[in-house]
Amino acid sequence: MIRVQGGAKLSGVVKPAGAKNTTLPILAGVLLKEGEWVLNNFPLVQDTLVMIKLLEELGCKVKVKPAKHQAVIKVPTKLNTSVESNIFSSIRGSIFLLGTLLARESEALIPYPGGCNIGQRPIDLHIKGLEALGVKFDLASGLIHAKVEGKVAGRVYLDYPSVGATENLMLFASLISGEVTIDNAAQEPQVVDLGNFLKASGVNIYGIGTHSIKIKGTRRFNPIMFSIPSDPLEAGTFLIASAMTGGDVTVKDVNPKFLNPLLHKLSEVGAEVRMQNTTSIRVLGKSRPRAANIKTLPFPGFPTDLQPQMTSLLAIAEGVSLVVEIVFENRFQHFRELNKMGAHITVEGRQAIIRGVDKLQGAEVIASDIRGGSSLILAGLVAEGETRILDDFHIHRGYENLMGKLGNLGANITSQIANREVQADE
Ligand code: EPZ
């Protein structure tokens, strides 16, 4: 459980951890070539540690050095191609093993992936794209059984610019001799990071960060040392917290390009946004935020992963805001909890009307997913009295030491192990 006392103005400098959503596909990417890979600025969060367990099941030897935020991965010449363990279905990132195993061993038998319960999370675009490149699927047994019947290079069109499907196809295409073009590809930061990682390993990739990515696969690439770029979602969470609490927070070592949609929105609600240098951004919360409308879209639109956090700011803004969640069909669960804190939010399908109130009240609330959980912490920072957040394990899946970092910025926040977990340890 997390306890937050409201009222503190956050101030100071914070460096986000490596991006979780970049680390997961890269942990699949290292499987493409045997040898020793070194990942620096490695985020120590639940999801990346689960992915490491899956790599060990496939035959890798992994050494994580927490103090150095480093993971050293020894990849064998032959990978196991079937994964039974139930932890596979606890994260979305496990799906990237599909493209990688098919590229390396031409076969995969894996469970369906998991991930935040913010929607159906289908994988039809992953399957359709891989089928277009010669993969045959047997989905009858409740598992994903796939075989490469003859790798064919060619063009794949994604009906929706799915982040995961783009990444899976990039991983699969890395070993195909011939050219694969992915049209209507995703442009999110994690896709750009994966492209840069594969390029640095020797894969010929063109169009990284555009809607059309061209990959000339090769077997001539080698294990590298790679530093995971910092997490724009963690950075954005701190900048929103600063704007909400009338604070003065600087995030460093970030790529402003990926925070651009948020920075414009923070200016619109009246926060002062300053570029301290090319990789440091400072946000000052001058006064009570003004209302603003949010529509989440694929990048470079406003990121769905910052929608929950931004709605906590809009809950105390002056005026009425309209929020439209285009990307996921069930990403408004935090509104039920915010309303318990005195917010005035009405949900109608994928749209929500937020009538700003000048004060929220501390309450006991329940986290339902990573970003929804962090939105409740932000609400607790400005609420009157104490807010207790249950099921905070969701938050620790995607944020490293969030409580410690917020505490260093002046927040009055503690995290307690729920009783049941203590009994398990006894
Ligand atoms: C990635 O999920 C992220 N996860 C999510 O972050 C993020 O919200 C999402 O991209 C969008 O930016 C990781 O990178 C591990 P999508 P992913 O495929 O790949 C539909 C977080 O909080 N779709 O772009 O699952 C899907 O239903 C997490 O860190 C299909 O219809 O996102 C959704 O409506 C939450 N068929 C939309 O596309 C498919 O085959 C976006 O999904 C795949 C997706």
Per-residue confidence (pLDDT) for residue 170, from 0 to 100? 98
116 C-alpha to ligand 1 centroid (Å): 10
Q: Which of 24, 95, 162, 193 to mutate to test the pocket of ligand 1 (most atoms within 8 A of CB)?
A: 162
Is 165 near ligand 1, meaning CB less than 6 Å away? yes
Residue count of the chain, please give it. 426
Distance CA 295, CA 305 (A): 12
Residues in a beta bridge with 90: none
Mean pLDDT per block of 10 residues along the chain (426 residues) reads 97 98 98 97 96 94 97 95 80 91 92 88 95 93 89 91 98 92 98 98 96 92 96 98 98 96 98 97 96 98 98 98 97 98 97 98 98 98 98 95 97 79 37
pTM: 0.96
Is 120 near ligand 1, meaning CB less than 6 Å away? yes
Per-residue confidence (pLDDT) for residue 87, from 0 to 100? 81
Per-residue confidence (pLDDT) for residue 421, from 0 to 100? 42
CATH number of 2-17+232-423: 3.65.10.10
Q: Which atom of ligand 1 is nearest to the CA of 92?
A: 15
Distance CA 88, CA 97 (A): 10
20-227 CATH fold: UDP-n-acetylglucosamine1-carboxyvinyl-transferase; Chain (3.65.10)
Is 370 near ligand 1, meaning CB less than 6 Å away? yes
Start and end residues for every CATH 3.65.10.10 domain found in the chain: 2-17+232-423, 20-227
Per-residue confidence (pLDDT) for residue 418, from 0 to 100? 56
Active site residues: 116
